[in-house]
Structure 1
Amino acid sequence: MVTIKSITSRLSLGVQLLIASVLGALVGCLQPSWADGYQFLGQAFLNLINMVIIPLVVPLVVVAVAGVIGKESFGKLLTRSLVYFFLVTTLITTIFVFAAYNLGFGNDTNIGQAGSSLEGLTSSIEWDTFFLGFIPSNIIKVLSEGALLPSIVFAIFLGYGIGKLETEKSQFLIDALNTWIEAIYHIVGAVIKLSPIGIFGFIAHDVATTGLEKLFGLGQFVFGTYAAYAVLFLIIFPFIALVFRVSYTSMIKEIWELLTLAFISGSSSIVLPPLLQKLKDRGHNEAVTDFVVPLGYSFNLEGAAAYSAMATVFIANAYGIEWSFGQLVFTVLVLTLIGKTVATVPSGAIVVLLAAAPQLGLPEEGVGLIFAVDFFVNAGRTALNVVGQALAVSVIEKNERAIVAVPEIESNYVLPS
């Protein structure tokens, strides 16, 4: 007997989201009086996502920090890798935040009420207060309120403390945290399976209240984001390769088949094992490759950085939020920090945006609508993430001649989909 469950189990999540968007638009047109019910479905989905952000981010950071403390044999490689990752992803985030703002990306669209008065980006920033806010005076209060940035600072210090314990004690705690992380990932997976229902609710509510214009606005977001992807692939990546004297065209030829696989599948996880093997078969240092690529899957996602920057500016402009130079800098800082902590989450794009939204004063409903077209932008984002890993290996290997042998790292990183 054919059931709805058996049909949906055969469809990819992207196809389900597409169907949910079409059904939401249709139902919203036919039954606009049910707008409150549609909004309930969408908000319930957002609440479920928000529910797992802090319980997932804190142990991820603790484990990551504890895992590298005291391993002096590759401290130099670790330092250079992290410096490269942060410089490049911050540069990319900065470029696309400022470019999208100056080009008015999202100004002419309507996915929200124009001229909304939202706190956050519209308020002036007191930088001393902002940076002091990173340091939690009461960690219980911070965790209960879901304040992400001070939670990350606490997690870094806790990871440092665990890393300084005796090996047997620290490994016990790390194993327990990894078990917790695995359990949270199962919850995230279950919540993401419900995303078609949430997207249906968002689309139906917005069509019922403001008409079909919002869907056309989301189409503009897709085209604008792919324009940003093209700039990253054809200009920024080649420029980085030129600065570090790496042959960009040769590198792309090496991994072209894997880029195609990543684009079609929309999954970085599928590409990781063959990427590691391909790079080593092409003569790249095995120790550097085995270390840089897994670490980069958490800290070096350039495609995700470009996407988050474009999506954030698009949502803010579409809701009529005013910007200043200081607020743009603040946006870059928040996206850079949060992107490093939840990039490993399956369907992590929406988690990054939802985690950033309260810090920036962005409406969560706008994030939910953006997720409706994530199926279309995910392909390019994933492929660019793979390009970034290969480029990082080439750059770091070329500038790390002093490293002859680095111990192989057993990676426990969970890969983004």
Structure 2
Amino acid sequence: MGNVKKKKIALGLQLLIALFLGGAAGFFLPQFASFYQFLGQAFIRLISMLIIPLVLPLVVVAVAEVLGKNHFQKLLGKTFLYFFAVTTGITALFVFASYYLGFGQGVNIGQEGASLEGIATGVKIDEFFLNFIPSNLFKALTDGALLPILIFAIFLGYGVGQLEQEKKEAFLSGTKIWIAAIYKILDAVILLSPVGVFGFIAKDVATTGVDKLLGLGQFVLGMYLGYGVLALVIFPVIAILYKVNYVKLFKSIGDLVTLAFVSGGSSVVLPPLLKRLKKEGYDEAVTDFVVPLGYSFNLEGAAVYFALATVFLANAYGITFTPQALLFTVLLLSLIGKTAATIPSGAIVVLLAAAPQLGLPVEGVALILSVDFFANAGRTALNVVGQALAVAVLDSKKEKTEKVEKPAKAENVTGKELIANAG
């Protein structure tokens, strides 16, 4: 009897239970909205405090070790080529398809916009590229600016990779100890994720009026049809082309996708996603390099959102685009889409930046703020799926095959290990 282990409820099921309990609490006890918000924000902060301390050393180690394998430039080139090709292709497909299908035509979304106070409305191209380079690393760390920190981490990893072998190993050994400690903290924080989910849902149900949602129902419905096409058609096609088992990959990160969907912030699952992909057998250096970069350059869910939201507003306001204007829209959204934050509703800033340059009224962008929670949930979840798929694609299939075959030939491999490798 002493050896009998208590069955633990899977995290995915815990999140679903928290989802329903939160909805009920928000509906029947809306007066506690501020407390619900506290629970959700407390969880977000616990995860957020770990992101930079984890991502910075992970990228440094990844770059230094990839340099040691003499294929850093190849991985870097493949990664950015994949990111650009996939996100631009998705943007183009949804811009042209939704425009010619008339998404948003004849929809009345009201004559008055919501307040735009405090929201950025423009992105300058030169500033966009300059912001890649941190002028002050400590300021970037304080602000939590992920992209400049990643650039510094890449350069630092390059510098470490050029050190003498003994110094390099000493630096990487200490850095890996730090990473292991952060992962231990992460394990404890993730146990609180159902509490965070409860807070997110309860707060939104308690504060979102149903009347605000009815007028933009077509927008939300069309958005989720687009998300469905991405998840059930485009992603599987990419997986088939690169011989990736998409169903198995999706199942392995299902609970993290659920957490991203409910929380509305893909950065919440960045640390556990890195750990999960390594557990699934993907190369550590590739995972630690591709995923953090993907959070700035590989946002497929956001690409669908930008395309459909832009076309919806154009058609709703009766604005006509020529084929050339549609092409410009694709290029513009593909470029400034890389500035989308990994926090809830960050994509609104991108739409506000694109609207004036496309001749769209910014008031229309403000109107969809009332339903952005619903649109944001789907795009955030698909961003997470996109990161996992990118790792599966960019991790060399030949190297993974060798990893499976070599242990099978060794005499000291256990039967359990052989079964695991076969799976």
Is TM (by shorter chain) over 0.5? yes
Q: Distance in 2 between matches of 1:130 and 1:66?
A: 27
Preserved CA contact (<8 Å) 2:301 2:381: no
**Equivalent of residue 187 in structure 1, options 185, 188, 213:** 185
Q: Aligned to 1:117, what secondary structure does the other structure show?
A: coil
Distance 1:387 1:395, change over 3 A: same
* Structure 1 gap ranges (5+): 1-5, 242-247, 277-292, 336-351, 398-417
Q: Distance in 2 between matches of 1:221 and 1:192?
A: 30
Q: Read off the aligned partner of 2:301 and give its amino acid letter.
A: M
| Aligned: 1:266 with 2:271 | no
Query: What is the match of residue 131 of structure 2?
Result: 133
Preserved CA contact (<8 Å) 1:49 1:191: yes
Distance 1:47 1:379, change over 3 A: closer
**Equivalent of residue 329 in structure 1, options 329, 334, 337:** 334
Alpha-carbon deviation of 1:86? 2.1
| Aligned: 1:82 with 2:84 | no
Alpha-carbon deviation of 1:207? 1.0
Distance 1:144 1:383, change over 3 A: closer
Distance 1:359 1:383, change over 3 A: closer
Q: Distance in 1 between matches of 2:9 and 2:388?
A: 22
TM-score by length of 1: 0.61
Query: What is the match of residue 146 of structure 2?
Result: 148
Alpha-carbon deviation of 1:67? 1.9
Q: Aligned to 2:9, what secondary structure does the other structure show?
A: coil
Q: Aligned to 2:133, what secondary structure does the other structure show?
A: coil
Percent identity, please. Answer: 35
Distance 1:395 1:165, change over 3 A: closer
Alpha-carbon deviation of 1:204? 0.9
Preserved CA contact (<8 Å) 2:40 2:198: yes
**Equivalent of residue 44 in structure 2, options 31, 43, 46:** 46
- The one-character-per-residue Cα deviations of 1:62-120 (angstroms, maximum 9, x if unpaired) are 11222233x3xx53x4433432232123211223345456649x989x9xx97462766
Preserved CA contact (<8 Å) 2:307 2:333: no
Distance 1:166 1:14, change over 3 A: same
* Structure 2 gap ranges (5+): 255-272, 315-327, 352-365, 402-423
Is the radius of gyration larger for structure 1 or structure 2? 2
Preserved CA contact (<8 Å) 2:134 2:149: yes
| Aligned: 1:33 with 2:31 | yes
Query: What is the match of residue 230 of structure 2?
Result: 228
**Equivalent of residue 308 in structure 1, options 299, 320, 327:** 299
Distance 1:60 1:358, change over 3 A: farther
Distance 1:358 1:226, change over 3 A: closer
Alpha-carbon deviation of 1:188? 2.5
Distance 1:394 1:118, change over 3 A: farther
Q: Aligned to 1:135, what secondary structure does the other structure show?
A: coil
Q: Aligned to 2:343, what secondary structure does the other structure show?
A: helix
Distance 1:394 1:198, change over 3 A: same
Alpha-carbon deviation of 1:22? 0.9
RMSD across aligned positions (CA): 5.1
Q: Read off the aligned partner of 1:227 and give its amino acid letter.
A: V
Q: Read off the aligned partner of 2:77 and give its amino acid letter.
A: V
Q: Give the 5 Å matches for 1:5-24.
A: 10-24=8-22
Alpha-carbon deviation of 1:27? 0.9
Q: Read off the aligned partner of 1:61 and give its amino acid letter.
A: V
Preserved CA contact (<8 Å) 1:206 1:214: no
Q: Distance in 1 between matches of 2:115 and 2:93?
A: 23
Query: What is the match of residue 282 of structure 1?
Result: none
TM-score by length of 2: 0.60
Query: What is the match of residue 413 of structure 2?
Result: none
Q: Aligned to 1:354, what secondary structure does the other structure show?
A: coil
Q: Distance in 2 between matches of 1:274 and 1:31?
A: 41
Structure 1 residues 127-136 or 77-86, which shifts more?
A: 77-86
Distance 1:368 1:209, change over 3 A: closer
Q: Read off the aligned partner of 1:333 and give its amino acid letter.
A: K
Query: What is the match of residue 397 of structure 2?
Result: 393
Query: What is the match of residue 287 of structure 2?
Result: 297
